[in-house]
Amino acid sequence: MPERHVVKYTFLKVDPAWRRLPDEERAAHKREFVAACEDFASERLLRAFSTVGTRGDTDLMLLSQATNLERIHEFHVVLAQSGLMKWCTQPYSFLAMTKPSEYSDESRLEVRPAHSKYLFVYPFVKTREWYALSADERWAIMQEHIKVGKQYPDIDLNTSYSFGLDDQEFVVAFEGDDPARFLDLVQRLRTTEASSYTKRDTPTFTCVAASVERALSALDGTPLAETAHA
Amino acid sequence: MPERHVVKYTFLKVDPAWRRLPDEERAAHKREFVAACEDFASERLLRAFSTVGTRGDTDLMLLSQATNLERIHEFHVVLAQSGLMKWCTQPYSFLAMTKPSEYSDESRLEVRPAHSKYLFVYPFVKTREWYALSADERWAIMQEHIKVGKQYPDIDLNTSYSFGLDDQEFVVAFEGDDPARFLDLVQRLRTTEASSYTKRDTPTFTCVAASVERALSALDGTPLAETAHA
Amino acid sequence: MPERHVVKYTFLKVDPAWRRLPDEERAAHKREFVAACEDFASERLLRAFSTVGTRGDTDLMLLSQATNLERIHEFHVVLAQSGLMKWCTQPYSFLAMTKPSEYSDESRLEVRPAHSKYLFVYPFVKTREWYALSADERWAIMQEHIKVGKQYPDIDLNTSYSFGLDDQEFVVAFEGDDPARFLDLVQRLRTTEASSYTKRDTPTFTCVAASVERALSALDGTPLAETAHA
Amino acid sequence: MPERHVVKYTFLKVDPAWRRLPDEERAAHKREFVAACEDFASERLLRAFSTVGTRGDTDLMLLSQATNLERIHEFHVVLAQSGLMKWCTQPYSFLAMTKPSEYSDESRLEVRPAHSKYLFVYPFVKTREWYALSADERWAIMQEHIKVGKQYPDIDLNTSYSFGLDDQEFVVAFEGDDPARFLDLVQRLRTTEASSYTKRDTPTFTCVAASVERALSALDGTPLAETAHA
Amino acid sequence: MPERHVVKYTFLKVDPAWRRLPDEERAAHKREFVAACEDFASERLLRAFSTVGTRGDTDLMLLSQATNLERIHEFHVVLAQSGLMKWCTQPYSFLAMTKPSEYSDESRLEVRPAHSKYLFVYPFVKTREWYALSADERWAIMQEHIKVGKQYPDIDLNTSYSFGLDDQEFVVAFEGDDPARFLDLVQRLRTTEASSYTKRDTPTFTCVAASVERALSALDGTPLAETAHA
């Protein structure tokens, strides 16, 4: 039987003062950070994203996944020992788990981001009116939502669940190579009935896929080359 | 006659700059923190939890309990003298008391977390519409809520009361060893009638149980070993 | 004819870095703070409270009262010259005045906290629906509220008014020696009709009465001895 | 034809660390600040106010007025070069313009604070329901509001408009010598019909009138003497 | 076929401590910042604006535009290497794209600010009730809105879309030379039916057009000369 996974979205902001440190010191800090990531990633999913240029309040996002919460905790303990984390704050942090969907057979017990250029992430809370509907009513409303989504097959969705674990109910992560297509999908979804039951769907993050090394370089040096996503 | 207890949830965030101090200095800071905790814990309940990896805005939570508020005050005065507290902020703080429940005979006059792996904590405020219902109506609605909870016997609940003492009405603390089970319970409770009277139930904290020493080690060193919860 | 008074609640949070200063320097900072308080208190009401252990965002509260606003301003100018204030922020500040009540003959033109162990303070804003009721309707609703309060004679109330002077409409300050009694009163008041017209009643502060010296000691040293409230 | 004016309310908070600088350095910082103000005030309205003792999040407010926005911009550029501004943040800032009122003939194209002791300032936003009323309905409702105001002739009003220029719709500034009178007026206005269309009227600032020099002295030295307002 | 563009509004706030650095160091920091801007601007739209004197929480705004998001990301990576950015925070950041309008033929696939003196920018979110209307109803309501706008031909509008990419739905940027005219237009629009479907239209920024060099000079030196906009 497939296992459910713990999924963690960790957003980091580097203190501007870090950029004033000597090159060698910053390079050492980044090597330690990479080492912590490589250790975790050897057996589990770890993805890095840069938010430089898309958000003002965060620079880097790590998506980590494991079959138990202890391992996620341990990863962050080890990461905190890297020199870089001694200059970072975590302005956002979303803890979630995978779970079969009530509304779709295509749900996943693992978050499996493909190698799209972008990940669009937001925490999601529905109104309590939504939960007062019958299961059948909710199912019918979601079918319209899912049908619209299928018109955008180039956009893929990873939903995880945070009820009781963190401030949101869901963490929604869409993937795609073209921000315009995703924008059009989200605007189109505003007119569905499901949309009227949205209580909160912000903050919304546009995350640029990158290796850990490239996401770190974007903090103080060379931009991610476009070819990195080819 | 059993006494009511004062219950305090104290969340700490360590300044990233603390991690840049020499090892010996940090070790001394942690020893002083442990000493303050041991002194309090010798006669009263004190539990420590790590939130490294589950939240971005807090690293450590202390749950302290005493039969009077003076003792809670004194504990925090002594704690503040430890070297570690000179580098900490308290991003969250919940003051509460125990009280017999209107809705259940199983209420407790002490918060007694068993040795589960996780504590799930959130401040809770009900809408004023809830309080406009008759006592009988509220009782009936709560029975459905309690009945759902009983379907998850592996999840245990400690409720304390903050009316007039702090910003929330209740501090709710659930315990369990499996985050997925708790997530499923909370999602299931969304469809109860009681849920529609929720005004606020965030922030929501997933706290990893630990000894004080281990919770401190998680700030700058070795992760909590999984065996610590065996 | 009795005069109305200006009432000021000043909440202070000490920078954790202050605790790292040499003992002598901190002692001098506190002496200067005490001197400013003694000067004001020689002719006017000044009370000090510690919030160490009850709140995470504030350490100390000063309640000052004078017959004119200039004197309150002057007190804070002088206070700001003390060494301690050079390391403090003011996370909360409530400016108010006394005024005869529309609903009760027992109102006061001075805030006169007795020597209870605790002061429970919160800023209060009513909904605009409240003000759309007729004066008679409001009076009738308040009588139920006052009647409940009289069942808790050990809890005393000081209300002051902030309309147009500060962000809240009222500053409400209850006194008592037993937090459990106050908690029970506030929970009981939730079911009154008056309660449904509450727009905001947070943040809520549990303040531990102390001399200025003792409230300062609680910042970096010895806790308030329980006997201080005997 | 009389010109409309740009009106700017600039609130400053001094870093507590500034108070730890040597006396001479602070004196130089203040002289530079005064010089920037005098230059602007030579041809335009500039008023200074102290909020020491009335607010915890701001120390000083400058009210500047000019017939064009460029001049306001330039004033703040020059001001920023003073030593004092290198230690200040601007927790609040309101940009507005004068405009003839729809509801009263007494409107002004200049903000002209007389030399009252206090200025009571707040940003103001009305509900969209207000704007859905007909112009006649709005006019009628405002007449009741204006009539109440006329019962307090010792309180004078300066309204300016921020639609599209800043976060609020209006900046409202009342003047008077007696805070109790203003408090009573605002409480009285709560029961008018106009009041039910208020969306936001906070933060509310009680500002103590002062010369620039005296407002600066209140930051680190002598209080404003009461005679300064005689 | 014309391409859609990515549009980025980046707001910067300089740490007051930067102003305490030696003149030469600050000059070097600014030269590096200018170089990064010139590189980007050689082939793409880049506009600079000063908010000194109009806002308290931001000093400078850069509007950058490119046909793909990678280029925007790269620009911000390069910009972050300038000395100035090592002393800056980004209090606001809006990511958007151009898109043909549903309601007007005059929409643009490029943001093309003319050389007006001011840009008035705000993020915009409509209520979900808006999206529950039929397309025809929305179209009719928008015609009234557009008609009012046409009465102010000296005010020009650039709308971009952020659905799914950032926290807002739209970023609205109006241009004009006279703030009073824009204020009057926005106040007039409050009484249109479209206005009742506004959920959020703040923060609102009044931005003073400038060359990059002049916007930087406004941080620590000479104001923008009025002639710069002649």
| Model pLDDT for residues B115-140, shown as the tens digit of each residue | 899 999 999 999 999 999 999 999 99
CA–CA dist D185, C161 (Å, integer): 12
Any chain B CB within 8 A of the CB of C15?
Answer: no
| Token pair recorded at residue D89 | 């943040």
- The closest of D155, E223, E161, B81 to C165, measured between CA atoms, is D155
pLDDT of E225 reads 45
Place of tokens 């000296």: E154
User: Quick one: A147 exposed, middle or buried, by C-beta within 10 A (0-12, 13-18, 19+)?
Assistant: exposed
Nearest to A204 among E11, E90, E164 (CB): E164
Please report residues of B whose CB lies closer than 8 A to that of C19.
80-81, 85-86
The DSSP secondary-structure symbol of C169 reads S
Average pLDDT over residues B164-185: 98
Per-residue pLDDT band at C107 (split at 50, 70, 90): low
pLDDT of D109 reads 83
Please report residues of A whose CB lies closer than 8 A to that of E91.
56
Q: What mean pLDDT, rounded, does chain A reach? A: 93
Cβ–Cβ under 8 Å, residues C158 and C111: yes
| Model pLDDT for residues E123-135, shown as the tens digit of each residue | 999 999 999 999 9
| Model pLDDT for residues D139-183, shown as the tens digit of each residue | 999 999 999 999 999 999 999 999 999 999 999 999 999 999 999
CB spacing of B53 vs A77 below 8 angstroms: yes
Per-residue pLDDT band at B47 (split at 50, 70, 90): very high
Nearest to E128 among A182, A196, A204 (CB): A196
Is the pLDDT assigned to residue D225 strictly greater than 60?
no
Cβ–Cβ under 8 Å, residues A206 and A179: yes
| Model pLDDT for residues A9-65, shown as the tens digit of each residue | 999 999 999 999 999 999 999 999 999 999 999 989 999 999 999 999 999 999 999
CA–CA dist A118, A209 (Å, integer): 6
Average pLDDT over residues C185-191: 98
Size of interface B-C (CB pairs under 8 A): 117
CB spacing of E81 vs A17 below 8 angstroms: no
Q: How far is D95 from chain E (nearest CA, A)?
A: 6
Cβ–Cβ under 8 Å, residues D42 and D54: no
Nearest to B16 among A69, A87, A93 (CB): A87
pLDDT of E102 reads 84
User: Which chain B residue lies closest to C216 (C-alpha atoms)?
Assistant: B77
Q: How far is C102 from chain D (nearest CA, A)?
A: 12
Is the pLDDT assigned to residue B106 strictly greater than 80?
no
CA–CA dist B4, C187 (Å, integer): 16
Per-residue pLDDT band at B224 (split at 50, 70, 90): low
Average pLDDT over residues B43-69: 97
pLDDT of A175 reads 96
Average pLDDT over residues C79-92: 96
Chains that touch C (3 or more CB pairs under 8 A): B, D
Q: What mean pLDDT, rounded, does chain B reach? A: 93
Q: Which helix (H) or strand (E) holds D158?
A: strand D156-161
Q: How far is E204 from chain D (nearest CA, A)?
A: 5
Per-residue pLDDT band at B223 (split at 50, 70, 90): low
Residues 117-136 of D with CB under 8 A from E: 128, 131-132
Place of tokens 């979900």: E128
Q: Is D176 helix (H, G, I), strand (E, B) or coil?
A: strand
Per-residue pLDDT band at A224 (split at 50, 70, 90): low
Q: How far is C56 from chain D (nearest CA, A)?
A: 17
Q: How far is A182 from chain B (nearest CA, A)?
A: 28
| Model pLDDT for residues E49-92, shown as the tens digit of each residue | 999 999 999 999 999 999 999 999 999 999 999 999 999 999 99
CB spacing of D74 vs E224 below 8 angstroms: yes
pLDDT by residue for chain E (230 residues), tens digit each?
578 999 999 999 999 999 999 999 999 999 999 999 999 999 899 999 999 999 999 999 999 999 999 999 999 999 999 999 999 999 999 999 999 988 887 667 888 777 899 999 999 999 999 999 999 999 999 999 999 999 999 999 999 999 999 999 999 999 999 999 999 999 999 999 999 999 999 999 999 999 999 999 999 975 554 434 43
* Beta partners for residue B118, in sequence order: B176, B208
User: Which chain C residue lies closest to B127 (C-alpha atoms)?
Assistant: C196
- Mutate which of B58, B77, B129 to test chain C, going by most C C-beta atoms within 10 A? B77
Per-residue pLDDT band at A1 (split at 50, 70, 90): low
pLDDT of B199 reads 98
Please report residues of D whose CB lies closer than 8 A to that of E183.
97, 99, 161-165
pLDDT of A41 reads 96
CB spacing of A93 vs B57 below 8 angstroms: yes
Per-residue pLDDT band at A97 (split at 50, 70, 90): very high
Can you give the pTM of this predicted structure? 0.95
User: Which chain A residue lies closest to E129 (C-alpha atoms)?
Assistant: A196
Per-residue pLDDT band at C224 (split at 50, 70, 90): low
Any chain C CB within 8 A of the CB of D13?
Answer: no
pLDDT of B189 reads 98
CA–CA dist C65, C109 (Å, integer): 11
Cβ–Cβ under 8 Å, residues C220 and C26: yes
Kindly list the distances between the CA atom of residue E174 and the CA atoms of E93, E135, E151, E228, in Å, as whole numbers in the listed order. Answer: 17, 25, 14, 20
| Model pLDDT for residues E184-195, shown as the tens digit of each residue | 999 999 999 999
Q: How far is D22 from chain E (nearest CA, A)?
A: 16
Q: In chain D, what percentage of residues exceed pLDDT 90? A: 87
Q: How far is B11 from chain C (nearest CA, A)?
A: 8
Is the pLDDT assigned to residue D2 strictly greater than 90?
no
Any chain A CB within 8 A of the CB of E102?
Answer: no
Q: What mean pLDDT, rounded, does chain D reach? A: 93
* Beta partners for residue E147, in sequence order: none
Any chain A CB within 8 A of the CB of B185?
Answer: yes
Size of interface C-D (CB pairs under 8 A): 117
Any chain E CB within 8 A of the CB of D207?
Answer: no
Per-residue pLDDT band at C225 (split at 50, 70, 90): very low
* Beta partners for residue B52, in sequence order: B55
Amino acid at residue number A152: Y
Place of tokens 């009335």: D54
Any chain C CB within 8 A of the CB of B184?
Answer: no
The residue ranking higher by pLDDT, B220 or B109, is B220
CA–CA dist E4, E1 (Å, integer): 10
CB spacing of D56 vs C10 below 8 angstroms: yes
Q: Is B92 helix (H, G, I), strand (E, B) or coil?
A: strand
CB spacing of A224 vs E73 below 8 angstroms: yes
| Model pLDDT for residues A130-156, shown as the tens digit of each residue | 999 999 999 999 999 999 999 999 999
The DSSP secondary-structure symbol of D55 reads B
User: Which chain E residue lies closest to D72 (C-alpha atoms)?
Assistant: E53
Is the pLDDT assigned to residue A228 strictly greater than 80?
no
Chains C and A touch (3+ CB pairs under 8 A): no
Per-residue pLDDT band at C109 (split at 50, 70, 90): confident
* Beta partners for residue B8, in sequence order: B64, B95
Q: How far is C148 from chain D (nearest CA, A)?
A: 25
Any chain A CB within 8 A of the CB of E7?
Answer: no
- The closest of B1, B229, B5 to B112, measured between CA atoms, is B5
Cβ–Cβ under 8 Å, residues A109 and A98: yes
| Model pLDDT for residues D173-204, shown as the tens digit of each residue | 999 999 999 999 999 999 999 999 999 999 99
The DSSP secondary-structure symbol of D169 reads S
pLDDT of A107 reads 65
Per-residue pLDDT band at A109 (split at 50, 70, 90): confident
For residue E27, give every residue at least 6 positions away whose Cβ sits within 8 Å of its Cβ, in sequence order, or none.
none
Per-residue pLDDT band at D105 (split at 50, 70, 90): confident
| Model pLDDT for residues C38-53, shown as the tens digit of each residue | 999 998 999 999 999 9
| C-alpha A207, offset from chain centre | 8
Nearest to D75 among E53, E183, E204 (CB): E53
pLDDT of B112 reads 79
Place of tokens 């859905």: D132
For residue C7, give every residue at least 6 positions away whose Cβ sits within 8 Å of its Cβ, in sequence order, or none.
C63, C64, C65, C95, C96, C97, C98, C111, C160, C171
Q: Which helix (H) or strand (E) holds E90?
A: strand E88-97
CB spacing of B81 vs C195 below 8 angstroms: no
Place of tokens 């909360």: C92
